[in-house]
Structure 1
Amino acid sequence: MPDAVKERKGARRLLAGGFAALLAGPCLLWPLARTVCDTTNYENRTLAAFPSLADGVDGWPAAFEEWLGDHAPFRNQFLTLKSGADRLVGTLDSTNVLQGKEGWLFLKDVSDSKSLSDYQGLTAYTAEETQAMADSLTALNDALAAKGSRLLLLFAPAKEGVYSRYMPDRVPVVSRPTRVGALANTLAETGVPVLFPLEELEAAALERQVYYKYDTHWNEAGAWLAAQLTLEALDKPYAAVWPEMAADPEKAPLTDLANMCGSWAWCTDDVYWALDAVAAECTLWEAGGEIARYAGEGEGSLLLARDSFGEALAPWLAQGFESTTVLHGNQMQPETLLEWQSEVPDVVVLEVAERIADNLPGRLDALRQWAEAAD
């Protein structure tokens, strides 16, 4: 056999052997290395379970691929390595996260929201959808008013709008107001107090940080401001002067966006800002915080129906009331509401994040059913 042919065969075998080693090596090393490697689930989701026969022959390969992607050996290490390489070349290759100016991260259009399209003004509610929500809001308000209770609807602005100055120049704004901005204006015509404090948060953000740099949510300062604006709209005592803020090195800032794109090891320069202000005391914390109660220094009772933005909002808002019950949207079934809030309180605040405003009709309906059945 000619030497050239032998060399080509040897090269092919070497290449095949190297490829096989790349595939099998991590699996062979993982049992020994997993005890010293970081295997934390940083993502705000449940990782895929190993497929079963119930997935069927057709669905099993896709289910297995999803499981393997979530549980591959050295997964966190490879994600961190890739993210670090992205940062070195100034890009971020992520289907869920957008890298803005000065390293700020923002949410793209994902399964449960259209944050980027909302920011650009590419989405809108139809006249029929808007009218249906206005009718539902009026029905809930009437049911509460009949039992001596007040209602306020609070939309938590998306980070993309509040920190638009850090959005990439290649992401243009096509129209304003956003779909929730337009919706809030229309719903306010029902007579129900409706807050969408985008302008107030934008103005505050010029002087202090009000959202986390690597997370979708407002921080303590943003939540505090939203609470004061809500109390003011309810004719309750509120603070008009900002409290002192100081970095608290003992507490870590939230980083859901960094976690989504494997950048948790690199996005470490954000700060947890603590406020020198009195918050309500938490007296009950159930179901991972989805059910909570607070005791404040104000008067009257409050039901706060919230989503993820409401967790930081609750202690500051509850301080304006004597007693507060807080329920996450996952717990907002009429029977659950009746279990934890059997009597209609003095005030009901419904907080809905701008990016998941499509959940509003369901929340309004559940609250109306509860209000009609409660004492």
Structure 2
Amino acid sequence: MNARLLHLIQSALFVAILGAPMAAAYWGLEPPDILATENRTLAEIPGLSLFFTDPVHGVSRLKAAFADRFPLRQTLIRAGNRLRLAVFGESPVSGVIVGRQGWLYYSLENALNDHLNVMNLPPILQDDMVRTLVERRDRLAARGIAFYVLVPPDKHTVYPEFLPPYVRVLRPRSRLDILKERLADAGIAILDVRDELARAKTVRRAYWKTDTHWNDWGAFTAAKKLIDTLRARFPDIPPLCENDFDVVETVVPGGDLAGMLMLPDLLPETDIRLIPRDPNAFGQRAVFGAPRPYADPANHPERAMVVAETGERGLPKALFFRDSFSSAMIPFLAGRFQSAVFLWTHAYHPDIVAAERPDVVVLEVVERYQYAFCLENPPEPSWPGAVSPTPPGF
């Protein structure tokens, strides 16, 4: 074979390899998009005018857009991910740990380091957290408002037995162990639901296998602990009872961790749902969506404020500052207050407290986000018509 013919064959193969994805997309051979969307905004194809005004930037943006939108891109990524999982048993994504028996774990945002107990929590930081939360409690108490802190544990904490064998706790005490002791000594009502979840998981699975979050059963367990605690101060709140719900199990596509692997359809699991037997029973009824006279601090379409009202004047009003772990608790909590406002933020907003005038404020912070306890308290606004005196520091 002469050199010219060899070069022609090589060129033809090169063109074929590059052109195959284009041809597959053109002829409709690419599988339909059944995947969870990527947790980021894909690069957009730049307008033609940009190539005249700023050609370097235009080419850069076109390159990024092509990399994000290359035909068969998802198919090729999925194939590579499946191969690494099947052959090597390893995660192809840095933020996901492949555990045993189909369990996946989240390793970003210090979730794994927190489980290993290697996160730094020096005394000066502990002091700062305690000072901030004590100041917040005292401000609220001056207005007759109760304050509670709820810390949902990460999945690693509740289900360590399915982690890979190489994941071993390196220190005996976790950040939550240390901080719980400090806050309790300072008189902060902190709800640690680790023991409740340890009991709950002996009944049925309390967390998703392919998601970072707890399922309905885990959320119900934490909500019950919160309601039982609040009933000591607000006895008219209806109790939360397991017998008021039916347990429904359905096989569904995998959760957010399976989505990070781009394999939710290939990593399904059983969704455990708790459905009220009587949706109109006292403690279940709530009307959602009443407008509020302030901006939603989250300012994000997927983290919108949730407002639930029952109109039951004998029940307290509640304000929640929270993260994604409260989402599954909202159906269990909404009907147990005269009004309940759930704000997806850990930052304290005294102006919203003044607008809502709640009877109780709950700060929910998942275990890996404990640094949120360092968020300072903004200045307190005036409360027209308020009868409680303003204590020093407001």
Sort the TM-score into its range (normalised by shorter chain): 0.7 to 0.9
**Contact 2:254 2:269 survives alignment (8 Å):** no
Residues 150-179 of structure 1: CA deviation (Å, up to 9, x unaligned): 000111111111111111111111113322
Aligned position for 1:103: 102
> 2:131, 2:149 → 1: CA distance?
14
> 2:213, 2:162 → 1: CA distance?
16
Residues 292-317 of structure 1: CA deviation (Å, up to 9, x unaligned): 11135771100011111111112212
Aligned position for 1:80: 78
Most deviating of 261-270 and 130-139: 261-270
**Contact 1:280 1:316 survives alignment (8 Å):** no
2:192 maps to a residue whose letter is F
1:290 maps to 2:285: no
Q: Mapping of 1:149-164 within 5 angstroms?
A: 149-164=145-160
**Contact 1:282 1:292 survives alignment (8 Å):** no
**Seq. identity, %:** 26
SS of corresponding position for 1:98: strand
Q: Relative to total residues, which structure has the larger helix share, 1 or 2? A: 1
**Contact 2:253 2:269 survives alignment (8 Å):** no
Q: Could you tell me how far 1:47 is from its partner in structure 2?
A: 3.0
| Aligned residues between the structures | 359
SS of corresponding position for 2:75: helix
**Contact 2:217 2:272 survives alignment (8 Å):** no
Q: Mapping of 1:162-311 within 5 angstroms?
A: 162-234=158-230, 235=232, 236=234, 238-239=239-240, 245-249=246-250, 252=252, 255-276=255-276, 279-284=284-289, 287-288=301-302, 290-296=304-310, 299-311=315-327
1:87 maps to a residue whose letter is L
Q: Could you tell me how far 1:332 is from its partner in structure 2?
A: 6.4
Unaligned ranges ≥5, structure 1? none
**Contact 2:210 2:267 survives alignment (8 Å):** yes
Q: Mapping of 1:112-123 within 5 angstroms?
A: 113-123=109-119
Could you say if the C-alpha distance between residues 328 and 87 of structure 1 is closer, same or farther in structure 2, counting changes exceeding 3 Å? Answer: same
Could you say if the C-alpha distance between residues 176 and 62 of structure 1 is closer, same or farther in structure 2, counting changes exceeding 3 Å? Answer: farther
Most deviating of 32-41 and 9-18: 32-41
> 1:58, 1:122 → 2: CA distance?
45
**Contact 1:99 1:105 survives alignment (8 Å):** yes
Q: Could you tell me how far 1:211 is from its partner in structure 2?
A: 1.0
Could you say if the C-alpha distance between residues 328 and 78 of structure 1 is closer, same or farther in structure 2, counting changes exceeding 3 Å? Answer: same
Give the alignment's TM-score, normalised by structure 2: 0.79
Aligned position for 2:367: 354
Aligned position for 2:40: 45
Q: Could you tell me how far 1:284 is from its partner in structure 2?
A: 0.9
2:93 maps to a residue whose letter is S
> 1:63, 1:172 → 2: CA distance?
43
**Contact 1:302 1:318 survives alignment (8 Å):** no
Aligned position for 2:295: none
1:27 maps to a residue whose letter is M
1:93 maps to a residue whose letter is P
Q: Could you tell me how far 1:95 is from its partner in structure 2?
A: 1.0
Q: Could you tell me how far 1:20 is from its partner in structure 2?
A: 3.2
Aligned position for 2:92: 93
Give the aligned CA root-mean-square deviation in angstroms: 3.3
Unaligned ranges ≥5, structure 2? 292-300, 387-394
Q: Could you tell me how far 1:252 is from its partner in structure 2?
A: 4.3
Aligned position for 1:313: 329
2:304 maps to a residue whose letter is E
Aligned position for 2:18: 23
Could you say if the C-alpha distance between residues 126 and 20 of structure 1 is closer, same or farther in structure 2, counting changes exceeding 3 Å? Answer: farther
SS of corresponding position for 1:83: helix
